[in-house]
Amino acid sequence: MDGFSDLNLFALVARHRNLAAAAREIGVTPPAVSKRLAQLERRLGVRLMNRTTRRLSLTPEGELYLANGLRILDELSELEQLVGRGRGEPTGMLRVNASFGFGRAYIAPAISAFVERYPAMQIQLHLTDRPLNLQDEGFDVGIRFGEAPDARVNARLLLANRRMACASPAYLQRNGTPATPHDLARHACIVLRENESAYGTWHFSRGKRTETVKVNGALSTNDGGAALQWALDGRGIVVRSEWELRGPIESGALVPLLGAWTLPNADIHAIYLERHRLSAKLRTFIDFLGDYLRAS
């Protein structure tokens, strides 16, 4: 099993691109990891990584070893799942990426419920302000909004989710209620700077008719939670996802606007790499997550 052990270590270091980070994860020292990698390279007779003081990069041989090695590790995991299926529960590690707001509100509680049901599972949740590349960062599954971003990944719809324009009653009392999307150009709009979307451009549709509005206002941010709070404070009109707005709308703290018009959807997907399509533990996790979100 030394070969599998070395392969697991190499995959871990390749994921982190950093000896110290990999060493922390498995509870050893960086020199111990470096020594194991050097022994692996001597055994294979090729250099797998180029080392600098800041970061590691894979050689062409290292890329080949990683790509095929991950497939072998997946197949081994599947074999263990198949043999141990009589126990009735998945085992192993999953690394999950999600956004800060949705990750804290829904994914973290879902994971807590998941490991309560499947105590043999281990989950690493990594929250970020923007989606990470699953392949480059070594994640098994990512939680994404809208369309699946990359043709190289698979996507499973977890929950339908609309985007909506809203404002507080106090703001609407002072400034009036927009009747059409183009009325928004005369309003204070809270602009969110995120991902690569066009800054301050909102797209509406109604049947076959579309309207694109360039909005602006005194406030902008890269954080959805801050934008929502400003809207609650009466500072302007905001566009956010239904999962964030349901509570404030039901309480009357926010009023939905332009109900006859729709914005690009923000459906919630689990995305995963093609090589994971048969993973029993991943399939179980995604099924559980979809059920949890729909129930929530």
Domain that holds residue 119: 89-160+267-296
pLDDT-wise least confident of 21-35, 66-80, 222-236: 66-80
Query: Residue 99: which CATH number?
Result: 3.40.190.10
pLDDT for 53 equals 62
> What are the structure tokens assigned to 32, written together?
């111990």
Q: With pLDDT > 70 as the criterion, what percentage of the chain qualifies?
A: 88
106 with 239, same domain: the answer is no
**Which of 42, 59, 86 lies at the terminal end of a domain, its last residue?**
86
145 with 203, same domain: the answer is no
**Which of 60, 86, 112 lies at the terminal end of a domain, its last residue?**
86
155 with 171, same domain: the answer is no
In this model, does residue 291 exceed pLDDT 90?
yes
Report residue 72's pLDDT band, with 50, 70 and 90 as the boundaries: confident
In this model, does residue 182 exceed pLDDT 70?
yes
In this model, does residue 121 exceed pLDDT 70?
yes
> What are the structure tokens assigned to 275, written together?
């090589």
155 with 237, same domain: the answer is no
DSSP string for residues in 236-292: -BEEEEHHHHHHHHHHTSSEEE-TT-B-----EEEEEEGGGTT-HHHHHHHHHHHHH
174 with 251, same domain: the answer is yes
Q: Is residue 262 part of a domain?
A: no
154 with 169, same domain: the answer is no
Query: Residue 48: which CATH number?
Result: 1.10.10.10
Cα atoms in the 13 Å half-sphere on the side-chain side of 148: 16
Give the mean pLDDT of 61-70: 84
Q: In DSSP terms, which residues pair with 211 in a beta bridge?
A: 204
Residues ≥6 apart with Cβ < 8 Å to 103 = 125, 127, 143
Report residue 82's pLDDT band, with 50, 70 and 90 as the boundaries: low
Is the torsion defined by CA of 31, 32, 37, 41 positive or negative?
positive
224 with 272, same domain: the answer is no
In this model, does residue 81 exceed pLDDT 80?
no
pLDDT for 16 equals 79
Q: How many domains does the chain have?
A: 3
pTM of the model: 0.70
> What are the structure tokens assigned to 151, written together?
């043709």
> What are the structure tokens assigned to 123, written together?
């989950």
Asked if 275 and 70 count as a contact pair (C-beta separation under 8 A), the reply is yes
Asked if 239 and 231 count as a contact pair (C-beta separation under 8 A), the reply is no
Q: Which residue has the tokens 């997550």?
A: 289
Backbone angles phi, psi at 94, to 5 degrees: -130, 140
Tell me the per-residue pLDDT of 206-236, one tens digit each, with 9 for 90 and over.
998 999 999 999 999 988 899 999 999 999 9
